[in-house]
Amino acid sequence: MADSKDVTLKIDDRDVTVPPGTLVIEAARRMGIEVPSFCYYPGLSLQAACRMCLVEVERAPKLQTACTLVAMPGMVVRTNTEQVHQARKAMLEFLLANHPLDCPVCDKGGECELQDMAFTYGADKSRFAEEKRHRPERKWSEAVYYDAPRCILCFRCVRVCDEGMDVKALGVGQRGSQSVIIPNGEDHLDCEECGMCIDICPVGALTSGTYRYKTRPWEMKYVSTVCAHCSNGCKTTLSVRNNEILRANNRDLSGFNKEFLCVKGRFGFDFTSHPERLKLPLVRRNGHLEPASWEDAIAEASRRLAEVHKASGADSIGFIGSNRTTNEENYLLGRIARASIGTNNLDHHRTADYPSLIAALGEKAAAATVTMTQLYEADAVLLIGDDPTQQNPLVAWQIRAAIRHRGSRLYVINAKSIKLRRKAREFVEVSQGGEAAAVSWLSGSDETLDPGVAESLSALKSALEKENNVVVVFGAELTGAAVRDLVKFGASLPGQTRYMALGDYANSRGASDMGLLPHLLPGYAPLADVKAREKFGKVWGAKLTNKPGLDARGMLAAATSGKLRALYVVGANPVKTFGVNANERLGKLDLLIVHDLFLTETAKLADIVLPAAAAYEKDGSVTNTAGEVQLVRKGGDVMGTRSDFDILRIFSHQLAEHGLGQAIRLRTPEAAFDEIRQSVAGYDLSMAALLLGEAERTSPISTAGGQAKFDAPVGAIFSAHDTLFASGSLGRYCTTILSLPEAGPKTTPEAGAHS
C-alpha cells in the first residue's frame, strides 16, 4: 500500500509511486526500466561521475543524472529519447577511446558491464584515431591485479574499500586523463585482501590473482552455496569447471551478505584441490597408515568399534563432532552415538555459549535473537568481546553499513582496541578477559572494577539507556553466568533488547543445535527430560540413556587415563584444538577413527582415516551463528572422497549388523533434514524458502523451564581467535590465503589453529 508521503512521478509515460527520497534510477529500475550506470552502486556514496544515467527531465535545461536525482512529485522523466540515446552513445565512445581492445584475453570478458553496455548502447565502431594511453599491468598482491588502461575510473573499488570495508587501501593517483587507482603501499596492497574491489569492478581493471586466465565465465557452472569458513553464513557462488572450483564470489547478490565476502569466502576455496587432500581411506597396519578400500576400511572400523563396545561397554566410546559438517551429518553422528552405541560421550569444539543464551532467553529465545539482516536494521549495537573484523567479518560489515546508511550507534566493550573501535560512539577497554566482569557490573552486581573502567562503563550505560531496541553482539568471552547477567542487563534497557552470540565456524551453531553436546539432545532438550529422550528414542529406534556423558576435554583425559577405549572423530582436530601431546597417541585408545580432508595431527594418530568430502562438495544445510539455516550445494567433486553423511549412514548399517542400533534409513541429506524438521525444536522451517536459497531462522525455545542452566564446564567454550587469514586446520590448506603477506609468516602444519 502506498504511504501518504510516497511520491508519484512519471517515467517514460508511466506513473510510479516510490517512497520519498528514492532516486530516479531506483524508481526506474523498480518499473523494469534499465538506466545504465557504472559509478552508481546501491549502498555506496553517490558519484555521478560516469554520466551514463543521463535522462531527460521535463523543465530541466539539460540532461540530469538519474543516480543523483531524487524523485519528486509530478516529475516527468524520459529515459528513451533520441537525446538520451545519443548521450549514452557519446559517453561510451569516450570510455572506449582509451580502453584496450583486449577482451579476448581479459578475465572479465563475457561478464563485463562495459562490454554489455557497449553492445546495448554503444556505437558499432571506434572513431578514436589517436594513440591509446598505455600503462603496464600491476600485481598488487597475490589476490589482486590492476590493469590501468582497462580502468574506467568509476571509483567503486575506492568507495567499497573505504566506506564498506573501512580499510581505505585504495585511492586515486594523478588527475584528469592520467588518473589511476593506487594502492596504499605505493606498488602493493596492504589490506584485508577481501577482494571486494575485484568483484565490484565493472570492467577487467581489477582481477583476481587466483582465477587469472584460467577459463572464461561461460565455461563454468555456478553453484550457490554457503561459505565453509566462519560462522556468519555468507552465500558464495562457486564457479566450477570440470568439478574443480576456480573461484568464489557473490556477484549475484544472493543471501543476506549481498556483495560481501571476506578473504576466506572469496579466496579460501582452494583447500579442496590441495595436493595433500586425502583421497583413499587409510588403515593402520604394522604401525603405519596404509591405503585401503572403502569397503575394508568401513568394515574394519565398525567391527573394531563393536568389539570395543562388547569388551568395555558403551561409555568406553566417545564421539567428537565438527563445527563445519552439515546439520544432517551432525544429527546422524548424534544418533549413532546416542542410539547405535548408547553413550552421551559426545561433544565438539564449542566456540560460543548458544545453550546458555537460549536458556537465559527462555520462551522469548526466537524473538530476542537477531538475524544478520536485523543486525543491519539495528539502531544501536552493543558489541562485547570478539573482534568481528577478523573473526566475524559479515557482522562487522553489517554494523558498518548500519552506521553508514542508517546512522546507527555502536558501543564496544573489549579487552583490545579492535578495528571497529573507530566506528564506536563509546569504547570501554577492559582488562584481558574482563568482559564478563564488566557485564556483571552492568547488570548491577557489586563487582569491583578498575575505577577508570567503571567510569567509562557508566558512561556507556547511560548512553545505552537512551537507546531503544539495542542489539547485543557478544563473543566467546561471555559464557554461562555472564550470559545470564547480560540478559538481565538487557532487560533493564528500554525497548526490546536482542542478542547475537558469535561462534567461530560455518556450523558452530548447527553443531550445538543438533545436540553434539554431552548434556543436550538436539533442539536443546536436556538429557534429563524424559519426554525428549522418549521422542528421540522413538525416532532413532533405541532407548536413550540419561547417564551423563563426557565433554571433549573429559574424553581426551579419559583416553589418556585409559577409561576411554575408542574415539570417533568427525571433521575435527582435537589433538590440536585442545592441546593434547601428539606423541602419546591419545593414551591407551584401542581405536581412533577420524573423518577428515587432510592428515591432521589427530588423523596422524588414527587407526582408521576416512577421506571426507569438503563442505563445497556436498549437499545439506548449515546454521549460522545467528541461527539462520541455509542449504549448501555440491560444487566441486574430488574422486575418492565421500561425504560424512554417506560415511555415517553406511557405518550405521554396519554397526546394525554387529547388533548395535538400527540402520539409518535416511538415504539423502534431504531425507535427514526432513526428519530434523519434524523432530528438532525450532527447525520446522519452510522448505520452499530454503530451496529458493533463502535463509530461514530457527526458533529454538528452551523447554526446560525458566531457571534452567545449560552451563558448560570451565574451559569447554573458547574461541580459536582465527584472523581473516586463518580458519582452523582448514586454513592451513588454503594456499592462496597463506601466500598473502598479511597472513603473516608461513605456518607449518603444526602451527595452525584447530579444525
Looking at residue 32, the DSSP 8-state letter turns out to be T
User: Smallest distance from the beta carbon of 31 to other proteins, in angstroms?
Assistant: 24
Going from the C-alpha of 347 to that of each of 426, 594, 754, the distances in angstroms are 38, 15, 15
User: Smallest distance from the beta carbon of 483 to other proteins, in angstroms?
Assistant: 37
Q: Measured from the CB atom, is 174 or 286 closer to other proteins?
A: 174
727 in contact with other proteins (CB under 8 A): no
Which span sits near other proteins by CB under 8 A: 84-92, 623-631, 663-671, 681-689? 84-92
- Reference 717, options 487, 511, 411; nearest CA is 511
Cβ atoms < 10 Å from Cβ of 537: 17
95 in contact with other proteins (CB under 8 A): yes
Looking at residue 182, the DSSP 8-state letter turns out to be E
**Mapping DSSP to helix (H, G, I), strand (E, B) and coil, where does residue 412 land?**
strand
Q: Measured from the CB atom, is 9 or 470 closer to other proteins?
A: 9
Contact 680, 334 (CB under 8 A): no
State the burial class of residue 190 (Cβ atoms within 10 Å of its Cβ: 0-12, 13-18, 19+): middle
Which span sits near other proteins by CB under 8 A: 15-23, 115-123, 210-218, 666-674? 210-218
Of 5, 59, 175, 288, which one interacts with other proteins (CB under 8 A)? Answer: 175
User: Smallest distance from the beta carbon of 688 to other proteins, in angstroms?
Assistant: 35
Phi, psi at residue 290, to the nearest 5°?
A: -125, 145
660 in contact with other proteins (CB under 8 A): no
Write the DSSP assignment of 514-561 as a string of letters.
TT-SSSEEGGGEETT-HHHHHHHHHHHTSPPP-S----HHHHHHHHHH
CA distance 343 to 314: 6
Which span sits near other proteins by CB under 8 A: 86-94, 376-384, 389-397, 544-552? 86-94
User: Smallest distance from the beta carbon of 219 to other proteins, in angstroms?
Assistant: 6
215 in contact with other proteins (CB under 8 A): yes
481 in contact with other proteins (CB under 8 A): no
Looking at residue 162, the DSSP 8-state letter turns out to be I
Which span sits near other proteins by CB under 8 A: 180-188, 247-255, 351-359, 718-726? 180-188
50 in contact with other proteins (CB under 8 A): yes
Write the DSSP assignment of 278-345 as a string of letters.
--S-EEEETTEEEE--HHHHHHHHHHHHHHHHHHH-GGGEEEE--SSS-HHHHHHHHHIIIIII----
129 in contact with other proteins (CB under 8 A): yes
CA distance 357 to 486: 9
CA distance 21 to 580: 60
Which span sits near other proteins by CB under 8 A: 130-138, 446-454, 560-568, 660-668? 130-138
690 in contact with other proteins (CB under 8 A): no
Q: Measured from the CB atom, is 175 or 288 closer to other proteins?
A: 175
User: Smallest distance from the beta carbon of 582 to other proteins, in angstroms?
Assistant: 40
CA distance 352 to 110: 43
54 in contact with other proteins (CB under 8 A): yes
Of 43, 100, 291, 741, which one interacts with other proteins (CB under 8 A)? Answer: 100
665 in contact with other proteins (CB under 8 A): no
User: Smallest distance from the beta carbon of 266 to other proteins, in angstroms?
Assistant: 19
3 in contact with other proteins (CB under 8 A): no
Q: Measured from the CB atom, is 182 or 365 closer to other proteins?
A: 182
Q: Which residues bind other proteins (CB under 8 A)?
A: 46, 48-52, 54, 62-63, 68, 87, 90-91, 93-95, 97-98, 100, 102-105, 109, 127-131, 133, 137, 152-153, 168-179, 182-184, 186, 212-216, 218-219
